[in-house]
A and B are shown apart, each in its own frame.
Chain A
Amino acid sequence: MRKKIFAAVAAAFIATVGIAAPANAISATTADLYVLHAVPNTPVDVWVNGAVLLPNFQPGTLTDPLDLAPGDYEVVITAVGDPITSPVIGPATLPLAAGTSYTVVAHLAEDGSPTASLFTNDLSTIPAGEGKLTVRHTAAAPAVDILANGAAAFTNLSNPDEVKANLPVGTISAAVAATGTTAPVIGPADVQIQEGVNTIVYAWGSLQDDNLALAVQTIGGLHSNPGGVNSGQAGLAADPNPATLGLGIAALLALLVAGSVVAVRARTAQARR
Chain B
Amino acid sequence: MNVRAVTAVGIALLLLLSGCSSTSAEQPAPTPTSAAPRSNSSTIGTQSAALRPVRETVPPVRVQVPSVGIDVSVQPVGVQPDGLMELPENVAIAGWYRYGPAPASTAGTTVIAAHVDSLEYGLGPFSRLKGLPAGTAIVVTTADGTVHNYTIESVTNVLKTQLPLDEVFDREGPRRITLITCGGQFDYDRLTYSDNIVVTAIPVQP
The answer to whether A and B come from one shared complex is: yes
Name A residues whose Cβ lies closer than 8 Å to a Cβ of B: 1, 3-4, 6-8, 10-12, 14-15, 17, 20, 22, 24, 36, 38, 53-57, 60-64, 66, 81, 128-129, 169, 171, 189-192, 195-196, 201-202, 214-217, 220-221, 223, 225-239, 241-243
Q: Is the CB of A232 within 8 A of B85?
A: no
A14 touching B166 in the complex, CB below 8 Å, given contacts A55-B38, A228-B84, A229-B84 = no
Q: What 9 pairs across the A-B complex have the smallest Cβ distances?
A: A232-B182, A238-B186, A235-B186, A11-B12, A227-B83, A215-B49, A64-B45, A226-B85, A7-B8
Assembly CA distance A161 to B161 (angstroms): 44
Residues in B whose Cβ lies below 8 Å from that of A195: 99-100
Closest-CB distance, A136 to chain B (whole angstroms): 12
Q: Is the CB of A233 within 8 A of B46?
A: no
Q: Is the CB of B9 within 8 A of A230?
A: no
Q: Is the CB of B79 within 8 A of A236?
A: no
Assembly CA distance A4 to B182 (angstroms): 64
Assembly CA distance A185 to B126 (angstroms): 54
Q: Choose the segment among B59-67, B133-141, B142-150, B187-195 that binds chain A (4+ C-beta atoms closer than 8 Å).
A: B187-195
Q: Is the CB of A15 within 8 A of B16?
A: yes
Q: Is the CB of B193 within 8 A of A20?
A: no
Residues in A whose Cβ lies below 8 Å from that of B183: 232, 237-239
Residues in A whose Cβ lies below 8 Å from that of B117: 232-237
A227 touching B116 in the complex, CB below 8 Å, given contacts A4-B29, A20-B45 = no
Assembly CA distance A189 to B54 (angstroms): 10
Q: Is B184 an interface residue (CB 8 A)?
A: yes
Q: Is the CB of A3 within 8 A of B36?
A: yes
Name the contact of B114 in the complex, choosing from A3, A54, A201, A231 (C-beta under 8 A): A231
Assembly CA distance A225 to B168 (angstroms): 9
Residues in A whose Cβ lies below 8 Å from that of B9: 7, 10-11, 14
Name the contact of A63 in the complex, choosing from B44, B54, B160, B186 (C-beta under 8 A): B44
**Binary interface encoding of chain B residues 123-165 relative to chain A, with 1 for a CB under 8 A from any of its CBs, else 0:** 1001100100000000000000000000000000000110101
Residues in B whose Cβ lies below 8 Å from that of A189: 51
Name B residues whose Cβ lies closer than 8 Å to a Cβ of A: 1, 5, 8-9, 12-13, 16, 28-29, 31-32, 35-36, 38-55, 78-79, 82-85, 87, 97, 99-100, 113-119, 122-123, 126-127, 130, 160-161, 163, 165-166, 168-169, 171-172, 180-186, 188, 191-193, 196
Assembly CA distance A71 to B118 (angstroms): 58
Assembly CA distance A232 to B44 (angstroms): 51
A6 touching B42 in the complex, CB below 8 Å, given contacts A226-B83, A226-B84, A238-B193 = no
Q: Could you pull out 11 A-B pairs where Cβ atoms are within 8 angstroms?
A: A3-B31, A20-B45, A81-B38, A196-B171, A220-B171, A225-B165, A226-B83, A227-B165, A231-B114, A232-B183, A235-B188
Residues in B whose Cβ lies below 8 Å from that of A6: 5
Closest-CB distance, B32 to chain A (whole angstroms): 5
A232 touching B45 in the complex, CB below 8 Å, given contacts A7-B31, A223-B99 = no
Residues in B whose Cβ lies below 8 Å from that of A53: 42, 44
Q: Is the CB of B191 within 8 A of A235?
A: yes
Residues in B whose Cβ lies below 8 Å from that of A237: 116-117, 123, 127, 130, 181-183, 193
B45's closest neighbor in chain A, by CB? A64
Assembly CA distance A54 to B40 (angstroms): 9
Closest-CB distance, A173 to chain B (whole angstroms): 10
Name the contact of A169 in the complex, choosing from B99, B113, B196 (C-beta under 8 A): B99
Name the contact of A232 in the complex, choosing from B54, B118, B172 (C-beta under 8 A): B118
Residues in A whose Cβ lies below 8 Å from that of B191: 233-235
Assembly CA distance A56 to B39 (angstroms): 8
Residues in A whose Cβ lies below 8 Å from that of B163: 228-229
